[in-house]
Amino acid sequence: MSNNKVSVVLGTQWGDEGKGKLVDILAKDIDVCVRCQGGNNAGHTIVVDGVKYAFHMLPSGLVNTECISIVGSGVVVHLPSFFEELEDLEKQGLDCDGRLFISDRCHLVFDFHQIVDGLKEGELGRGSIGTTKKGIGPAYSSKASRSGLRVHHLYHFEEFERRLRTIVEARHKRYGDFEYNVEAELQRYRQLADRLRPFVIDSVEYLHKELAGGKRILVEGANALMLDIDFGTYPYVTSSNTGIGGVCTGLGIPPSKIGEIIGVAKAYTTRVGGGPFPSELTDDVGQKLRDVGAEYGVTTGRPRRCGWLDLVVLRYSNMINGYTSINLTKLDVLDVFDAIKVAVSYTINGKEVTSFPASLEDLETATVNYVSLPGWKENISKCRSFDELPENCKAYVRFIERDLGVPVKWIGVGVGREEMIAM
């Protein structure tokens, strides 16, 4: 980790790649861990000494008791969930006192945002996005329409009350008279404001001072590139910029201050919710990936859709984010397969395509072109160096490296912190 530039961990696919585990490992060598976008619709699971920690909104760096963690300006925050997650972590023995801060520029997610999230999904019917219904999209909509409320508004409560009443009234006009007690919400947020005050900082000034002082900063991206509002499979995306651009806009850090950009890629592909997924397997092979990989969402518990690794997706992701290295995760899940396929291109309207198309209509007609690589049929979970891996397993990793032109620096071979090979 550099001490004069921030390092960044980003998801390369549709999320759930295992970013939290790498952040946890890297956090032992950093001073500050920061979230830059998203909300509690994200989900990381970290296993340390047999204890499973579930993170949704808070930075995974909290597992390291020497690390400061910050919820940055680009994150949208549901305060009841913020404190609920914090309490759950503290009940598991994590001492977060004085180590967790939140930007005064964060936008707030209210319960009415969550209600509206469900109503919007209902309106879409069969074309629904498959959101987590955590209110993230409606909160970002409030932000974009300049009607949202930010953390700092809590400390000018007359203005906070005026703005909240105005935005709720507007949502009632749009969606009808849904049940929502504004008076109770105002009372609750008076109390939450007092409770939150010790956590609130000017994160822009804080981060730049830490950088100037030589502190090592790690940015933890949420979701992944293929869910980016601009570059993902729109409209089946999240509501924030999940790529490298979201680091700059979500934290107030210029591009010149970004050093390592680590892309986390699962050794196969998964996604949750609706939307295109060219290499998806809806047969017994897909179910086998789901069962062996325990592919069920941390935030929702929903079963994830599963498929083979898609290098078209990873190439596209790398073009946008410019990865300096890759963490290949859950490679051990592929232990059970005789042969392993990898998507290398699509055929659309009779033409071979090697980059990810914008049009969902084109994707619906695409034929996926695969190469088949031999499996290794050995348990690799005990391997702790690259040389210990079976030859066919090493060949799989090298195949990915050659295609992307990016070195694989870490390989995940199990769920535990110790089950990670450093190259």
Catalytic residues: 16, 44
- Measured CA to CA, the distance from residue 104 to residue 240 in angstroms comes to 18
**Contact partners, residue 74, CB within 8 Å, separation at least 6:** 36, 37, 106, 240, 241, 246, 249, 250, 251
Give the strand pairing for 100-103 and 200-201. parallel
Q: Are strands 305-307 and 269-271 parallel, antiparallel or unpaired?
A: antiparallel
Structure token digits, residue 326: 């890759």
Helix (H, G, I), strand (E, B) or coil at 282: coil
**Residue 280, φ and ψ in degrees, nearest 5:** -60, 140
What would the two tokens of residue 102 be?
Answer: 């939140």
| Residue 320 to residues 2, 204, 232, 355, Cα–Cα distance (Å) | 22, 25, 11, 12
Residue type, 350: G
Residues 6+ apart with CB under 8 A from 57: 35, 39, 40, 42, 71, 75, 77, 78, 81, 82, 85
Cα 266 to Cα 11: distance, rounded to the nearest angstrom: 9
Q: Which residues make Cβ contacts (< 8 Å) with residue 167, sequence separation at least 6?
A: 112, 142, 147, 148, 149
Whether residue 37 contacts residue 74, with contact meaning beta carbons closer than 8 Å, is answered with yes
Report the alpha-carbon distance of residue 176 to residue 251 in Å, rounded.
Answer: 36
Please state the three-class secondary structure of 287-334 as a single string. Answer: HHHHHHCCCECCCCCCECEEECEEHHHHHHHHHHHCCCEEEEECHHHH
**Which residue's entry shows tokens 């955590």?**
134
